[in-house]
């Protein structure tokens, strides 16, 4: 595929230039590039942050699956972030020798830097409970905020959400709830009184499983990208994007499901046989909910819905990382403080060097890395856009002008989403934006 | 005359498709009376997908079946009938768009051989694997 994309870049101009405001970016996409300009510093920044992101993500996916499959409806889930050894050691399905289909070269185990951080945190080695109470730990709240964005925005393509409303799902959830609270008359009584409330909680847990299965794939992808870069393997930003495009295709058919385990017994709330896939039911809804939409986040900036500051239509929400005004404390978009703090612990030395040299150096490292993250997510979004073009439209080197115009309309429609003033697409075109 | 699967087997250009039909457990369904309209991607179409794509699907039969069902319509439709509508509901559930009549294009695939009549339906040979969306 990498070879295919490379040859696609030699297309002759068979159609007139775009007149879109982002024509330059569109022409770059048509030439097989990314929304992020191909500069050595951009490559260094995005790969460095992928690495820093992958380490906490290696915890997020494991704990999300632990919560969805084991903690489940625990009414007092105070220890849901205290992942069990079984889930911390859970082998990655697509990395390591044991995997049924080994796609990435990393190991199946939790990353050593993650284990080291879990043991020591920012402070020093102490019991897990003290690290938790001191908030010296991985910020699972960020992962849950992403899950809630997916739950809340719902209908974003795929069939997952429709299934959550189906009779089959309700029957499966009912069986799981009754089994989970077996011998607990209080909770069973509450379930009899408020069945929909319990069902809605299970739906949330189904999205928790969905996101866990999504990130289980992304963590080894980002680790491998970091390794390839360290070996001098990526020649530019488009190479990094192509690697992501290939990854998206390779696991597109991975099943998305929700199983509950009570002891050894497995209750299939969403069985694999429903045919839900990683691409349609997880990746695309995730990108839409988290990169683009999320929700107005009350931080340094508050939004007044009554004054029309929040769109009426959920599809117009624009509080994701692609639009975020990056601040060191909570601001627009995904609760960024939490993720930025998580990534700060695992920055490769070469990124720390870049941050020291610019702006206020170490003082505003969190802002600088947030903007690096924004650049890197424009590159991931570019990979999604190219993958969709590849799956649904035409090769970049197609010689039929009608096909090329179909590609053009698709790229322009994608860029229309960045016409609103909050979008950071213009900013990331220059290196000065830090 | 032969069935859809017999026709595909004798053509020799659909080895991946036939293996996928078996892996997905759809052989019985496609040997039924039907009739069906099948958009059959040639081996090269599967080979053009990035590495791992087909293998992940073959390892997961329900997910593979979903993609294959997107290539099947209920009823026997010749080209002249297909082009009368902008899109047709596939067995997968998502619509299959008829994008162009000349050359004859189904979604982003070009039909390289249309109207192969079989006992239980009609096959149109396409040059790309088509995906819902």
Distance from CA of B87 to the nearest CA of A (A): 15
More confident residue, A191 or A101: A191
A275: nearest CB among B52, B59, B65? B65
* Model pLDDT, residue B1: 82
Q: Which residue of B has its CA nearest to A103?
A: B52
* Model pLDDT, residue A331: 47
Name, in order, each residue with C-beta under 8 angstroms of B68's C-beta and a sequence gap of 6 or more.
B20, B21, B24, B26
- Number of C-alpha atoms within 13 angstroms, CB side, residue A123? 12
Q: Which of A277, A284, A288, A406 to mutate to test the interface with B (most CBs of B within 10 A)?
A: A277
> Over A99-136, what HEC string results?
CCCCCECCCCCCCHHHHHHHHHCCCCCCCHHHHHHCCC
The structure tokens listed for A240 are 């990094």
pLDDT tens per residue, range B63-88: 999 999 999 999 999 999 999 999 99
Instruction: List CB contacts (< 8 A) between B53 and chain A.
Output: 249-250, 252-253
Instruction: List CB contacts (< 8 A) between A255 and chain B.
Output: 60, 62-63
Instruction: List CB contacts (< 8 A) between A393 and chain B.
Output: 108
Distance from CA of A354 to the nearest CA of B (A): 35
* Model pLDDT, residue A167: 98
Ranking A257-266, A297-306, A334-343, B82-91 by mean pLDDT, the lowest is A297-306
Residue B118 burial by CB count (10 A; 0-12/13-18/19+): exposed, middle or buried? buried
Q: Which residue of A has its CA nearest to B96?
A: A392
A254/B133 Cβ within 8 A: no
For residues A225 and A364, the answer to whether their CB atoms sit within 8 Å is no
ipTM of the complex in this document: 0.95
Distance from CA of B32 to the nearest CA of A (A): 22
pLDDT tens per residue, range A308-343: 888 998 888 988 889 988 876 554 445 667 898 899
B66/A277 Cβ within 8 A: yes
pLDDT tens per residue, range A29-73: 999 999 999 999 999 999 999 999 999 999 999 999 999 999 999
- CA–CA gap between residue A318 and residue B115 (Å, rounded): 47
* Model pLDDT, residue A332: 43
A251/B59 Cβ within 8 A: no
* Model pLDDT, residue A298: 54
The structure tokens listed for B73 are 């319509």
pTM, 2 dp: 0.94
Note down the domain range covering A330: 2-429
- CA–CA gap between residue A26 and residue A43 (Å, rounded): 20
Q: Which CATH superfamily is domain B4-126 in?
A: FAS1 domain (2.30.180.10)
The structure tokens listed for A381 are 């979004």
A253/B50 Cβ within 8 A: no
* Model pLDDT, residue A294: 87
Instruction: List CB contacts (< 8 A) between B56 and chain A.
Output: 101, 103, 250-254
pLDDT beneath 50: ranges in chain B = none
Q: Which helix (H) or strand (E) holds A304?
A: none
B62/A274 Cβ within 8 A: yes
For residues B34 and B121, the answer to whether their CB atoms sit within 8 Å is yes
B55/A255 Cβ within 8 A: no
In a domain, residue A434? The reply is no
**Closest residue by Cα to residue B132 from B95, B91, B85, B82:** B95
**Closest residue by Cα to residue B38 from B128, B126, B130, B124:** B124
Ranking A77-91, A178-192, A305-319 by mean pLDDT, the lowest is A305-319
Q: Where are the domains of chain B?
A: 4-126
Name, in order, each residue with C-beta under 8 angstroms of B76's C-beta and a sequence gap of 6 or more.
B34, B35, B36, B37, B121, B122
DSSP per position, chain B: ---HHHHHHHHSS-HHHHHHHHHTT-HHHHHSS--EEEEEE-HHHHHTSPTTHHHHHHHSHHHHHHHHHTTEEES---HHHHTTSSEEE-TTSSEEEEEEETTEEETTEEEEEEEEEETTEEEEEESS-----
B62/A252 Cβ within 8 A: no
Looking at residue A277, the DSSP 8-state letter turns out to be B
Domain count, chain A: 1
- CA–CA gap between residue A137 and residue A80 (Å, rounded): 13
Tell me the pLDDT of chain A averaged across its residues. Answer: 91
* Model pLDDT, residue A278: 96
DSSP E strands in A240-332: the ranges are 258-262, 265-270
A275/B63 Cβ within 8 A: yes
B62/A1 Cβ within 8 A: no
For residue A364, what pLDDT band results from cuts at 50, 70 and 90? confident
Q: How many beta-carbon contacts under 8 Å exist across A and B? A: 68
For residue A300, what pLDDT band results from cuts at 50, 70 and 90? low
- CA–CA gap between residue B30 and residue B6 (Å, rounded): 10
- CA–CA gap between residue A180 and residue A427 (Å, rounded): 50
Instruction: List CB contacts (< 8 A) between A157 and chain B.
Output: 133
A249/B50 Cβ within 8 A: yes
> Within A231-335, where are the H helices?
237-250, 284-286
The β-bridge relationship of strands B36-41 and B121-126 is parallel
For residue A140, what pLDDT band results from cuts at 50, 70 and 90? very high
For residues A405 and A389, the answer to whether their CB atoms sit within 8 Å is no
The β-bridge relationship of strands B87-89 and B95-101 is antiparallel
- CA–CA gap between residue A373 and residue A353 (Å, rounded): 16
A251: nearest CB among B56, B67, B131? B56
For residues A191 and A198, the answer to whether their CB atoms sit within 8 Å is yes
């Amino acid at each position: 595929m990498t070879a295919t994309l490379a040859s696609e870049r030699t297309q002759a101009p068979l159609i007139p230039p775009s007149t879109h405001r982002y024509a330059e970016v569109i022409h770059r996409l048509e030439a097989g590039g990314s929304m992020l300009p191909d500069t050595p510093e951009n490559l260094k920044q995005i790969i460095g942050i992928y690495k820093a992101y992958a380490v906490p993500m290696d915890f997020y996916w494991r704990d999300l699956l632990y919560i969805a499959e084991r903690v489940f409806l625990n009414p007092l889930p105070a220890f849901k972030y205290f992942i069990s050894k079984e889930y911390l050691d859970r082998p990655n399905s697509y990395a390591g020798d044991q995997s049924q289909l080994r796609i990435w070269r990393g190991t199946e185990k939790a990353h050593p830097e993650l284990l080291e951080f879990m043991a020591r945190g920012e402070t020093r080695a102490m019991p897990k409970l003290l690290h938790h109470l001191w908030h010296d730990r991985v910020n699972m709240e960020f992962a849950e905020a992403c899950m809630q964005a997916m739950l809340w925005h719902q209908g974003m393509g795929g069939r997952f959400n429709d299934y959550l409303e189906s009779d089959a799902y309700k029957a499966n959830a009912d069986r799981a709830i009754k089994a989970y609270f077996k011998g607990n008359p209080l909770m069973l009584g509450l379930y009899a009184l408020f069945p929909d409330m319990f069902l809605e909680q299970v739906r949330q847990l189904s999205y928790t499983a969905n996101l866990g299965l999504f990130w289980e794939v992304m963590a080894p992808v980002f680790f491998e990208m970091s390794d390839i870069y360290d070996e001098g393997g990526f020649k530019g930003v488009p190479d990094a994007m192509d690697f992501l495009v290939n990854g998206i295709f390779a696991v597109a058919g991975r099943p998305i499901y929700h199983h509950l385990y009570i002891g050894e017994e497995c209750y299939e709330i969403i069985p694999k046989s429903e045919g839900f896939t990683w691409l349609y039911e997880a990746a695309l809804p995730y990108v839409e909910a988290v990169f683009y939409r999320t929700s107005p986040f009350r931080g340094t900036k508050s939004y007044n819905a009554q004054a029309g500051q929040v769109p009426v239509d959920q599809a117009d929400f624009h509080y994701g990382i692609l639009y975020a005004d990056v601040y060191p404390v909570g601001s627009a978009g995904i609760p960024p403080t939490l993720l930025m703090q998580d990534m700060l612990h695992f920055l490769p030395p070469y990124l720390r060097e870049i941050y020291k040299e610019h702006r206020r150096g170490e003082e505003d490292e969190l802002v600088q890395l947030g903007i690096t993250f924004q650049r890197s997510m424009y590159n991931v979004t570019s990979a999604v856009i190219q993958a969709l073009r590849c799956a649904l439209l035409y090769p970049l080197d197609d010689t039929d002008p009608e096909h090329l115009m179909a590609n053009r309309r698709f790229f322009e429609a994608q860029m229309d989403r960045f016409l609103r003033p909050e979008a950071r697409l213009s900013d990331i075109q220059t290196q000065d934006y830090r | 005359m032969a069935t859809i699967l017999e026709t595909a087997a004798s053509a020799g250009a659909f080895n991946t498709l036939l293996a996928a039909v078996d892996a997905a457990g759809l052989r019985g369904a496609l040997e039924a009376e039907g009739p069906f309209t099948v958009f059959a991607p040639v081996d090269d179409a599967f080979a053009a997908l990035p590495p791992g794509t087909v293998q992940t699907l073959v390892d997961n039969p329900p997910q593979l079946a979903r993609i294959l069902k997107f290539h099947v319509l209920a009823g026997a439709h010749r080209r002249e009938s297909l082009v009368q509508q902008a899109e047709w509901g596939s067995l997968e559930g998502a619509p299959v768009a008829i994008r162009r009549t000349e050359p004859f294009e189904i979604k982003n695939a070009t039909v390289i051989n249309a109207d192969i009549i079989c006992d239980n339906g009609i096959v149109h040979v396409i040059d790309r694997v088509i995906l819902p969306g």
